[in-house]
Structure 1
Amino acid sequence: MLGALTPRTTVAVLDQISSPTARIIAGPRLLAALRERGVRTVVDGAHAPGMLARPLAGEPDFWFGNLHKWGYAPPGSAVLAVAAPYRAEVSAPVPSWEDAHGFPRAVEYRATVDYTALLAAPEGLDLLASLGAAKVRRHNAELVAYGTELLAGLPGLTPMPYDPELAMRSLRLPDRLARTQDEAAALREEIAARLGCRVLVWGWPTGGGLRLCGQIYNRAEEYERLAAGLKGLLDGR
């Protein structure tokens, strides 16, 4: 990525964790290298809260992350973190009663917006803390590793490089499958309907991939059911 920078590059917009391929992209080393080159960093940390021990590692200039994915909060709750030098530049898209106070109050309070998800978010984060965040992360990572090992034993499924701390892993599908987003969506829904399992299937011209996740409500036998059923499903395609 650094080789693609030019003297005109002033901002880099990065995924912290790639959703399809389950890889850490905006890690501390890359963020530090961009900072040394005078490039501001905007990091989409949608999967980071609750799954990474240090979501803000590397000190991005702008960072936002969802709380409903791994923080047990309702959809619509998220966090925006802005480095001190840039906070004065952040304004609310719609001015409201707190506009004169600047960031963060001007962004957080937006007149008639529904605050329900944000008000409930602390309960989700408290649940994670009460379960033991480190214990949950370890459980989820071990569970998805088990599921990946099962699927890797199926003909045509190839594990992709992974970050062991994540509760997400991806495998490449046979090259005849999920070559478009429509094909990927159709396969995803067929897996859900026939096997009772929800996985992400992503499309790619040379054959797409399948992503697994692990969470506290998952059980090993669910991955075993997926592996057993997926073999027959793929054999028939």
Structure 2
Amino acid sequence: MTPALPPLGAAVRREFALSDDFLTVNHGSYGATPRSVLAAQEAWRHRMEAQPTRFFAQELPHALRAAAGRLAAFVGADGEDLAFVSNATMGCNAVLRSLPLVQDDEILCLGHVYNAVRNTMRHVAAERGARLVVVDLPFPRPDRADVLAPLDQALGPRTRLAVLDHIFSGSALVLPIADMVARCHAHGVPVLVDGAHGPGQVPLDLSALGADYYVGNCHKWLMAPKGSAFLHARRDRQPGLHPVTISHGFGQGFVAEFDWTGTDDPSSFLALPAALDFFARLGGAALMARNAALAAAGADAMAARLGTEVGAAREMRGAMGLVRLPVEGAASQEQARALRRALLAAGTDAPVNAIGGALWLRLSAHAYNEEVDYQRLTALVETVLANRYPG
């Protein structure tokens, strides 16, 4: 029997530091950290500043590994295979910049790849004479076959790494990542999964998934403090893998290298157990299912009100929804950015992206949201569109 969820929506909003005069329906960009987790982070900062030398030399190593162990248990991994990084992009950088590439090698990614990671791949490929191969996917509402078939066709003898998103940032599609990893491995190609949106949005079992590398943010759906993310590396892939900053731990192994890259504030990592406790108190797996259902209902209702469509079929939806905006003509990213600025000025934030020649709005659902939020969002969108596109 599934345990009952605690009261959510407006009932828990006060547990966050969110502004009362702003409609928050975008948890996917930067997350929102509960007050109790911020308090735990501040407690760690006080311990650090009480005696910095003692803290960094004697307390931090054990505390960092303890936090890694808690997180590893949540994502289905061994703590010794997990290292902390400041964000998922930094974790992707560590893997890509450690990759031994030569002239005409290929890095493969999917067309909706996150732009910061795309830029990292472009930089690494150009630096070493390699090629970036981008696999285009049909959109909107692709199915499993629409993803796997072009991936199979693009994998080749020069593919040295496939960089696969678990959940696309712009289009919010939840991909069949286990099948994708298996296809790549069948071709002998290692896989880096960019799971920036994975932890806390969808269940994870990294040991079962078997990806060579998986990076994930904790400040988004797990509600940890900003600057909290992880890199999981399979044991056989750890030799030769280095952090972006080379420091005292160089050559001493995966954990030693990543755990100390120089003096920094580690409190965001150390507060992770408090974030995991809060996440569990609000329902854990049941909370994830509730958020996905709420996002789907909100997106469906908005699309019906606007007379448009949603971007994902049911099997590829998570706690974010994508709705096409009723704007005629070919869309541009400049238009998308202008609409997002207009929404911010109107009192809400929902990312807008130009995908496939149309403008698409992404909404999110988390513990503090409820159905009325998406009704308010739709009304604000209608007002902004009427002002920008009269008649």
**Are 2:240 and 1:89 equivalent residues in the alignment?**
yes
* CA shift for structure 1 position 27: 0.9
SS in 1 for 2:271: helix
| Cα separation, 2, equivalents of 1:114 and 1:26 | 36
Aligned partner of 2:339 in structure 1 is 187
> Normalised by the size of structure 1, how large is the TM-score?
0.91
**Are 2:163 and 1:13 equivalent residues in the alignment?**
yes
* CA shift for structure 1 position 164: 5.8
Counterpart amino acid of residue 33 in structure 1: R
**Are 2:325 and 1:173 equivalent residues in the alignment?**
yes
| Cα separation, 1, equivalents of 2:232 and 2:239 | 13
| Cα separation, 2, equivalents of 1:37 and 1:68 | 34
Which residues of structure 1 form unaligned runs of 5+?
Answer: none
Q: Which moved more, 1:78-87 or 1:141-150?
A: 141-150
Q: Which moved more, 1:217-226 or 1:50-59?
A: 50-59
Aligned residues: 236
SS in 1 for 2:209: coil
Counterpart amino acid of residue 174 in structure 1: P
Aligned partner of 2:364 in structure 1 is 213
* CA shift for structure 1 position 219: 2.1
Which one scores higher on RCO, CA 8 angstroms, separation ≥ 6? 2
| Cα separation, 2, equivalents of 1:177 and 1:122 | 48
**Are 2:305 and 1:160 equivalent residues in the alignment?**
no
Deviations 1:209-234 (A, max 9, x none): 11111011112211111122323433
Please say which structure displays the higher CA radius of gyration.
2
**Are 2:172 and 1:22 equivalent residues in the alignment?**
yes
Aligned pairs for 1:16-165 within 5 A: 16-25=166-175, 27-54=177-204, 56=206, 58-162=209-313, 163=315
SS in 2 for 1:18: coil
> Normalised by the size of structure 2, how large is the TM-score?
0.57
| Cα separation, 2, equivalents of 1:5 and 1:33 | 9
Q: 1:203 to 1:55 in 2, by over 3 A?
A: farther
Does the CA contact (< 8 Å) of 1:178 and 1:202 recur in 2? Answer: no
* CA shift for structure 1 position 15: 1.0
| Cα separation, 2, equivalents of 1:51 and 1:10 | 29
Which residues of structure 2 form unaligned runs of 5+?
Answer: 1-150
Counterpart amino acid of residue 21 in structure 1: S
Deviations 1:39-90 (A, max 9, x none): 0101110000111111535221011000000011111110110011111121
| Cα separation, 1, equivalents of 2:356 and 2:296 | 27
SS in 2 for 1:65: strand
